[in-house]
Structure 1
């Protein structure tokens, strides 16, 4: 998985298949953010990439209606819930856990 540095990135990290984008080179050493983004890459593969982005945006827009705040809407996206829950578990992806975003509550 290629890592690209994008200084104007609106977040610390972002996964756009097959790349991980980071706001700064120092984040290459942050195992948690890299794991978080790798989880997103797995999610994208699970949904054959394009449907992931559609579902991600739909989930965000529905959450924005429900929570009325960007941060709450973002944190409650099912894909983000899985990535945040398991970003510290560096073995999460090695242990399988396919479609974990479906089970995340």
Structure 2
């Protein structure tokens, strides 16, 4: 389910994201972003990652990986773009058929 909500995107991303996925929802900063197929595909990749890790462990790993990378660099953007889940999503967001052929636990390739 896709929902336009500035509240949730601001709350969970420190006002830095256009979209955020909180399983099973995709929250968009702007209603117009519903038409952005690349952005939606990026977020759907996160839904697949969360589902294969049974949701709660996905968020625990995501946050842990972010915190470790942030403590190593003290750079929010560097830490964010270094998260394996984000690396997979960014690398494949323009491939709109990626999820049809995505292999299980594919994010491990990006660690």
Fold match by TM threshold 0.5: yes
1:102 is aligned to: 108
- Counting only pairs closer than 5 Å after superposition, residues 1-105 of structure 1 correspond to structure 2 as 2-8=1-7, 9-10=9-10, 11-104=17-110
Deviations 1:12-54 (A, max 9, x none): 0011111111011100000110000000000000100000010
Equivalent residue of 1:90, what SS?
Answer: coil
Equivalent residue of 2:65, what SS?
Answer: helix
Equivalent residue of 2:3, what SS?
Answer: strand
Q: Which has the higher helix share?
A: 2
Deviation at 1:7, TM superposition (A): 2.1
When the two chains are superposed, the root-mean-square deviation of aligned CA atoms in Å is: 1.0
Equivalent residue of 1:83, what SS?
Answer: helix
Figure out how many residues of one structure are paired with residues of the other and give that number: 104
Q: Which runs of 5+ in 1 are unaligned?
A: none
1-side partners of 2:102 and 2:46: how far apart? Answer: 14
